[in-house]
Structures are given as C-alpha cells and as structure tokens.
Chains A and B, each alone.
Chain A
Amino acid sequence: MIKAEAHREGIREVPEPEEFLRFTLGQRLEHWVLVFTFLALVTTGLPQKFHEAAPSLWVISALGGIDNVRLFHRIFATLFIFESSFHLGAIAASVALKRFTPSMIPTPRDFLDAFDWLRYSVGLSSRRPEFDRYDFRQIFEYWGIVFGAVIMIATGLMLWFPTYVTRVLPGEFVAAAKETHSGEALLAFLVIVIWHFYSVVFSPNVFPLDQSMINGKISRERMIEEHLREYMRLMGIKELPAHLSSEPAAGGTAEKPPGG
C-alpha cells in the first residue's frame, strides 16, 4: 500500500510502478489460515456426510477413527470461529479508527457489472465493464463465504450443544441444523473447488497460479485489465486514456495492454 500511497498524490511524471501491492502480509496470512481450516474442516466433515462412500472410510481410518475425526473437526471449528471473529474484529476496528474503505460492500453498480459482463462475455456487447478493487465475482464470493460461515458456525454449534439449543428451540431444529450444516458444507466446498480454483489456478489468465495471495503483488498489466477503477484512483487519473475507454467490437482484436 505504501507505494500506492505515494502515487495517490498523482505526480504524473514519476514512471508508473510495474507492480502494485494487492494484499498486505496480514491479509495473506489470514487467507492461508482460512484455507487451512477450511480444508481441514472439509476433510474431517465431508466423510461424515458421505458415510457410506469408500473414500470416506479411508480418510476416517487414516485419521485414526471417527472419534478422532470428530475431535479434529471441533478443534478446527474452534479455530475457524476465532478466525471469523478476528476478521469481524478487524473490520470493526478499522471502522472505529475511521480507516475503513468499504471495498466489499455490494453496490447497484456491481449488479449492473454482472449483467454487462455477461453480455460482454457472450458477445452481445463490446463494452467491457471496469472494476474497482474487487469485481462483482469477488464480492459475491466474499459474501458467500461470510453467509456460509455464519450458517456453518450457527448450525455447527447447535449440533455440538443440542441440549442447550433445545432448551429454547424445538428439537426438530437440531435435525434441521444437521441437514443445513451438511448441505451448506457441500455447497461451500463445490463453490470453492469449481469457482475459486478456476479463478486463481485454472483460468488461462492466471494459470498455473495467481500468486498475489503469496507475494501480495499484482502486475500493472493485470491491475489495468482487472481493476482499472482502482488503478485510476491510485494513480490519480481522472479520465480514461482513449485507448482504454473504447474497446473494439467483441470478437475483434486482442485485449492488448495499454501502450502496446
């Protein structure tokens, strides 16, 4: 961010940086903690859902039996709850310190972006939407994770402490919690495996791996391509250069980096 801060003042004569800092070390660490807990929870959870499948049995045996698996699942669940609370706390702190930039709050523009992106992708429109720090897909995924986490933590705790839950709620809620926990888990797992893995590993744009969550950096080229509005804010550019504002019709020439 520090480099970018310097450029926010918009001294246009300074040569543009080749790389931008996309994620701070703290954000990256937080992400990998999340990756680790998520995978651990999936590994110890899904075999319980698909208890009749052979691979499930293999996983459970490898981890030393169902009792161990349950114990591990609850340990990682605790870690996950702490991680989520930390995330919430960090946001609360940044709001309190008036340093909060609402980059993940969905706006009407994001919905328009989604619609425009679809039209652009199938060739109905030649206007390519430009994105800020996070595009509509990333925002959607973020809130998916947030709601997913809320559902998983709530239902998980209900399954962990059924006798406390049923002091207040009908017993059927426990059974419903189990069904929810199980369905939501599978959904989250599939979204991550299909979509997130595509975005950060398999997509031709980033293959073999988008490294911004490792080294925290993003190239200027990708910054302009994928986060143009953020780029302009950082560089203090008010208006788009001509070669960026008007794209040729879809199916036309390649999307060249600027200055090419």
Chain B
Amino acid sequence: MNRRKRGALSRLLLGACAAASLGLVFLRAAPVAQSAPPPSPPAQDPNASCLRCHLRPEIAMTFPNGDALSLTFNEEAYRSSVHGDKLNCLDCHERNRRYPHPLPEVSGRREYSQAQYELCKRCHFKNYTLTLDSVHFEALSKGFTYAPLCTDCHTAHAATPIRESRTQIAQACSKCHEGIYEAYSSSIHGSALREENPDVPVCTTCHGVHNIPSATTASFRLDSLNLCAGCHADKELMDKYGISSNVLKTYLDDFHGKTVGFYQKEGTDVWPDQPVCSDCHGVHDIKAVDDPESRVIKENLLTTCRKCHPDATVNFPSAWLSHYEPSLDKATLVYLVKTYYRFLIPFMVGGLVLYIMVDLWRLARNR
C-alpha cells in the first residue's frame, strides 16, 4: 500500500511538473478571457494536462463494435464527488499516462466498464468482497452483460455518499428494476419516501447493499418475517404512526405463523407454502391497510385468501383475526373460550391435586 502510494505520489509529482510547464506555455500563448469562467485549472493541478483535452465538448471515441463514448469530462461533478479532492485522473486511468493513449483492448463500451470496475477494490476491498455474494455478481459470472458493476450504481465520476439522500438509492436501483420501482413508489413505503421520510424502508433496507441475496430462496422467504418485524415489531417506531407493533407475535400464534415459525426454528430450507407477510400484504406494492387498493382491506381479503384457499367463501377471512389479540371487543367468542380455559384448567388441576392430597391423608390415617 505504502509503496503504491509513494509510486502514485512520485507519478503525481512528475505529472504535476509536466502539467505545470505545459500550462505555463499554454497561458503565455493564449491570454485568458477574464470574464468567462469556467476557470482554468490551477497551475499545480496534476490533472491539467488531461483536462486540456477532456473538457472539450466534442471529444469522443468509437469502440470497435461501434459503441460511441463521449470523452468529455464533467469537472464540476467530479470536484463535488467523494473522490474530487482525493483522486487524480491517472489514479484510475493509469494506462492513459502515455500519449497518444493506447486504445482499450476491449470491443465495446460495456466491456470497458467491466474491465475498469475492478479498480474500485483497490480502496474499497470490503464492499467489493461483499458484492461477490450478491445476486448481481452471480448474474455477472453467468455472463449477463448488464449485471451491475460498482459504477452502475455509484457512477464513475460523480459518486456522492449515497446515504445523503435515500431517494437516490431507490433511483439507482430503478435504472434496472423499473417495474419494481414503479410499484414501490406507489406503495405506502415508497410514497412516504418521496417526502424523504427517514423511517420507511428503501430497497437496500430489505435487500442489503453490496451482498444482495436472491429474494426468491426459501431462506429469504423465511427471514422476511424478521425483516418486516425489524420495524413493525418496534413499538416506539410504530407508535409514531399509530400502527400495531404486535403483528409478528399475533402472526406466529396463528395457523400460518406457527408453521412458518417452526420452519424458521428447524433451520430447514423447505420452501414455506404457508403465507408470510408479503403474501397477504404485497411485496413492493404494500398499501396501507385502510387503502381501498390494499389486499388485506376487508373488501379484498377474500380474494387474497383464495390465492391459497380457492374454495373459501365470504365468511372465511374472519377466521383470521387480523393481527388482533382476542379481547372483549375484538374476537369476543375466541376471548371467551380463552378465558373459560384460563380459569377452568387451574380450577380443575387444583381440585385434582387437592383430591389426591386428601386421599393420601386418608390412607395415611387409616394405615
């Protein structure tokens, strides 16, 4: 690392000297028009020699396969990017130190990106390693040309800290996942995000960032309960929006949840046929439970039940207590049964134990 840094530094110095001398010549030759920014780069700028050409708007190239690529550099965007004050052109574009630049040994623009993106791991090794476990890398290794590279989400020259705006994350994903983005934007989570709500999940909240797992595996399906519960069982957070935070417990206590809960505990990779949160509430298109479009609003619930219970009739959905704990006003009958046994069982057990004690006492006395 140190050696590399030193090498880079010496190269920078070299470049700087070259640039400076060239710049001086250039400045003498053409007096600068004072009234017109963009300002020319400072004399010591190591990138000056690059910018001499690459700020020109008409500069472009064509790859052997016909892909056209503009070579105009947006200096302002780069300066305000995370790398703007850290990296110089040659840190990444090392091969272009020579002039005329050697032509890239790839046939097209995409191949060029794929060859270049490996550079990121020189500094971002941890995140690069994480990507190796992702569905994106899996697609890449299967030869899927448009599987995303670092630069597809972060851009090459304008990478800003992506946490600054959470909408940016969704937009980055939407470049490929357009349909899902549409569904998400109209969902309760997505529409709140548009107001930059800090609490709602964005793509990465559920799917992870660099090591994005496949969302179609049994294990993802099982873990999805905890994913939702991460926020929806958080009382403080849910109170803020007046939503029940008891949803996971009530689910796990009921028909569907018990089974899925056991699958979770058994650690099997059985695909749970029983519904998980997303089967009733939707995945990316989750609506508020009082939204007329919600799948779980009373009017639509039967349709939702019929996905698994095709012969369900109009009474069927109320077999599910809608995440309510039985009480005197919700699911009264269930509550009464529950209460009945809550008293009967201790009463009965107490009576039987008492009987046994009396019987033993009698036998002891009569011995």
Interface residues of A (CB under 8 A from B): 48, 51, 57, 60-61, 65-67, 70, 118, 120-123, 159, 162-163, 166-167, 169-176, 178-180, 182-184, 186-187, 190-191, 194-195, 198, 203-205, 250-251, 254-255
Contacts and interface: CB of A to CB of B under 8 A. Distances in A.
B301 to A, nearest CB: 10
B180 to A, nearest CB: 32
Contacts of A60: 262, 266
B365 A66 contact: no
Interface stretch (B69-77, B150-158, B207-215, B314-322): B314-322
B117 interface: no
B362 interface: yes
Contacts, number: 130
A254 B340 CA distance: 43
Interface of A is mostly: helix
B311 interface: yes
Interface in B263-282: 263, 265-266, 268, 270
A195 B311 CA distance: 44
Given A66-B262, A66-B263, A195-B352, A172 B331 contact: yes
Interface of B is mostly: helix
B313 interface: yes
A183 B337 contact: yes
Assign chain B's interface to a size class.
35 or more
B331 A175 contact: yes
B133 to A, nearest CB: 28
A148 to B, nearest CB: 12
B358 A121 contact: yes
Given A171-B316, A179-B334, A187-B348, A57 B265 contact: yes
Given A51-B252, A194-B356, A174 B266 contact: no
A163 B355 contact: no
Interface string B328-355: 0001011001101100110011001101
A172 B318 contact: yes
A163 B334 contact: no
A70 B259 CA distance: 10
A187 B345 contact: yes
A200 to B, nearest CB: 13
A205 B266 contact: no
A179 B341 contact: yes
A183 B345 contact: yes
A163 B309 contact: yes
B262 A194 contact: no
Given A66-B263, A179-B337, A190 B349 contact: yes
Nearest to B355: A195
Given A57-B262, A166-B316, A172-B321, 9 more contacts: A51-B252, A51-B258, A67-B270, A118-B358, A166-B319, A171-B315, A171-B320, A179-B337, A204-B360
A190 B353 CA distance: 11
A172 B334 contact: yes
B321 A175 contact: yes
18 contacts: A51-B252, A65-B268, A65-B270, A66-B259, A67-B259, A67-B270, A118-B358, A122-B362, A162-B319, A166-B316, A169-B315, A171-B315, A172-B318, A178-B255, A179-B338, A180-B341, A183-B337, A254-B367
Nearest to A174: B319
Nearest to A123: B365
Closest 5 CB pairs of A and B: A183-B341, A171-B318, A174-B319, A171-B319, A66-B262
A56 to B, nearest CB: 9
Contacts of B334: 172, 175-176, 179
Interface in B226-271: 252, 255, 258-259, 261-263, 265-266, 268, 270
Residue from A171, A178, A204 having most chain B Cβ neighbours under 10 A: A171
A17 B127 CA distance: 90
Given A48-B258, A51-B261, A65-B268, A251 B365 contact: yes
